[in-house]
């Protein structure tokens, strides 16, 4: 099989500032790899017609596939359609039927059709048009001198739906069905990265360089395993690699190829037929937002109480006033009372309580910023943990949410507790 090369082009001046990066190329890279197409170059250019035209002209000559994202909207700084047309040496043609399709999209949102909308119906002659089922701007795909040039929206949800919808269909027709790709991610919970690293270090030597990488983020570790096409059937190679790591990880192993710990918690609770409720102070709703990001979570997650103020802990969750006075809001007894309180008030099988000092203010010598108490209450008792998490407010909140969800996962499944 000849290896095909591709380039990703992210368009938008906002991607050349001090904060925002092109992330669309990650998902595009993963999808193209399933067709044996390797992204070997990524380019980000601003809303600048000549630079964009130059880049496209160059990349179309050099690669088999060029995927652009962004700049397909109707506004003055959306330049991708005309810039690509210029690079290919063709003129855009307005597609009257597409003008009407776009207008219907706006009306389906209950919105007026803006006067500038029809510009999104300007197509490159011969291009296949991808319908936008999320937003308004259609995508385009056109062949030019042996290169497949694809234009996708920059809004991630719109890009994603087109990438996995009509673009995949086109790639299936063109390059055959997608083939399993040799990558698998093991999610590991409740242990610091350096511990994991030490425990799995001896396994690294068994596999080729670059075959294993470790990514850590606020209490969650991801081990990424890769099997190149040269290694034989990727599935069996990855099965063997995964088994080797799982035998070392034991109960710290959460699952394979999961979007997050919350997916494991919802799936496990569903298997067991159990319901969950949360009482959150320092995380302020983050655990609820994570759990309810999982489609279908409503069978499992009944809801929660964000007990940011002490009065809410007392009046809504029934945390006794004397616990708050004697031990303070950030304490193991209060975390326990929150978990039990929300379990009782909402009538859930499992209750989760989190209270802590997320900072930047509020730390004391006794309870510095990062101090978090969390508890999991079930029919057979309550487990409480206290930790001092590192990082800024955001990191401490994510550490708290991950640690509490991991404790819930272990309690639900009867696993070893950290």
- Secondary structure, 3-state, 235-283: HHHHHHHHHHHHHHHHHHEEEECCCCHHHHHHHHHHHHCCCEEEEECCC
- Nearest distance from C-beta of residue 292 to a second copy, angstroms: 3
The reply to whether 383 sits near a second copy by the rule CB under 8 A is: no
The reply to whether 48 sits near a second copy by the rule CB under 8 A is: yes
Q: With the CA atoms of 178, 182, 187 and 193 taken in that order, what torsion angle do they form, in degrees rounded to the nearest 10?
A: -140
Which residue lies nearer to a second copy by CB, 353 or 359? Answer: 359
The tokens 């296949």 sit on which residue? 128
Number of residues located near a second copy, criterion CB under 8 A: 114
- Nearest distance from C-beta of residue 414 to a second copy, angstroms: 26
Which residue lies nearer to a second copy by CB, 36 or 284? Answer: 284
Q: Which two tokens stand for residue 265?
A: 């918690």
Q: Which of positions 233-272 make contact with a second copy (CB under 8 A)?
A: none
The reply to whether 325 sits near a second copy by the rule CB under 8 A is: no
Q: Which two tokens stand for residue 68?
A: 């652009």
CA 255 to centroid of chain Cα atoms:
16
Distance CA 344, CA 350 (A): 9
Which residue lies nearer to a second copy by CB, 210 or 414? Answer: 210
Nearest to 7 by CA among 25, 22, 34: 25
In a 3-state reduction of DSSP, which class is residue 202? helix
In a 3-state reduction of DSSP, which class is residue 114? coil
Distance CA 208, CA 226 (A): 9
Q: Which of positions 71-100 make contact with a second copy (CB under 8 A)?
A: 73-77
The reply to whether 223 sits near a second copy by the rule CB under 8 A is: no
Q: How many CB atoms lie within 10 A of CB 159?
A: 26
Determine which residue in the list 122, 393, 415, 418 makes contact with a second copy, applying CB under 8 A.
393
Determine which residue in the list 240, 347, 413, 417 makes contact with a second copy, applying CB under 8 A.
347
- Nearest distance from C-beta of residue 361 to a second copy, angstroms: 7
DSSP conformational letter for 416: P
213 DSSP β-pair partners: 224
- Nearest distance from C-beta of residue 41 to a second copy, angstroms: 6
The reply to whether 417 sits near a second copy by the rule CB under 8 A is: no
Contact region for a second copy (CB under 8 A) — 46-54, 91-99, 237-245, 264-272? 46-54
> Is residue 376 classed exposed, middle or buried when 0-12, 13-18 and 19+ CB atoms within 10 A define those classes?
buried
The reply to whether 321 sits near a second copy by the rule CB under 8 A is: no
Q: Which of positions 176-215 make contact with a second copy (CB under 8 A)?
A: 183, 192-195, 197-198, 201, 204, 210, 212-215
- Nearest distance from C-beta of residue 126 to a second copy, angstroms: 28
The reply to whether 405 sits near a second copy by the rule CB under 8 A is: no
- Nearest distance from C-beta of residue 319 to a second copy, angstroms: 12
Determine which residue in the list 242, 307, 355, 382 makes contact with a second copy, applying CB under 8 A.
307
């Amino acid at each position: 099989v000849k290896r095909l090369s591709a380039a990703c082009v992210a368009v938008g001046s906002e991607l050349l500032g001090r904060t925002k990066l092109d992330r669309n190329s990650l998902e595009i890279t993963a999808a193209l790899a399933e067709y044996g197409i390797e992204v070997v170059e990524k380019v980000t250019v601003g809303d600048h017609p000549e630079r964009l035209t130059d880049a496209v002209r160059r990349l179309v000559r050099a690669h088999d596939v060029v995927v652009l994202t962004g700049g397909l909207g109707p506004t003055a700084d959306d330049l991708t359609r005309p810039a690509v047309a210029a690079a290919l040496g063709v003129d855009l043609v307005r597609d009257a039927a597409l003008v009407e399709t776009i207008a219907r999209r706006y009306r389906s949102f209950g919105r007026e059709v803006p006067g500038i909308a029809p510009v999104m119906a300007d197509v490159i002659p011969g291009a296949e048009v991808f319908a936008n089922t999320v937003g308004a701007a259609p995508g385009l795909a056109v062949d030019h001198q042996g290169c497949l040039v694809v234009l996708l929206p920059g809004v991630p949800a719109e890009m994603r739906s087109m990438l996995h919808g009509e673009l995949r269909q086109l790639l299936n027709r063109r390059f055959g069905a997608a083939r399993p790709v040799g990558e698998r991610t093991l999610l590991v919970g409740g242990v610091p990265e350096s511990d994991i690293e030490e425990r799995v270090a001896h396994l690294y030597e068994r596999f080729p360089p670059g075959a294993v990488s470790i990514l850590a983020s606020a209490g969650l570790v991801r081990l990424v395993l890769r099997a190149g096409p040269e290694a034989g059937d990727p599935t069996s190679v990855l099965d063997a690699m995964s088994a080797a790591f799982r035998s070392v990880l034991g109960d710290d192993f959460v699952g394979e190829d999961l979007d997050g710990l919350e997916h494991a918690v919802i799936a496990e609770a569903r298997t067991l037929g159990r319901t969950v409720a949360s009482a959150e102070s320092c995380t302020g709703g983050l655990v609820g937002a994570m759990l309810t990001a999982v489609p279908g979570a409503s069978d499992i997650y009944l809801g929660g109480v964000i007990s940011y103020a002490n009065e809410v802990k007392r009046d809504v969750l029934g945390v006794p006033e004397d616990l708050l006075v004697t031990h303070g809001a950030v304490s193991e007894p209060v975390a326990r009372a929150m978990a039990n309180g929300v379990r009782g008030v909402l009538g859930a099988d499992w209750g989760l309580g989190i209270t802590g000092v997320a900072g930047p203010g509020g730390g004391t010598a006794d309870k510095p910023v990062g101090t978090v108490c969390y508890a999991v209450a079930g029919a057979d008792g309550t487990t409480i943990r206290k930790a001092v998490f590192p990082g800024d407010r955001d990191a401490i909140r994510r550490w708290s949410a991950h640690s509490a969800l991991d404790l819930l996962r272990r309690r639900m499944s009867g696993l070893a507790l950290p």
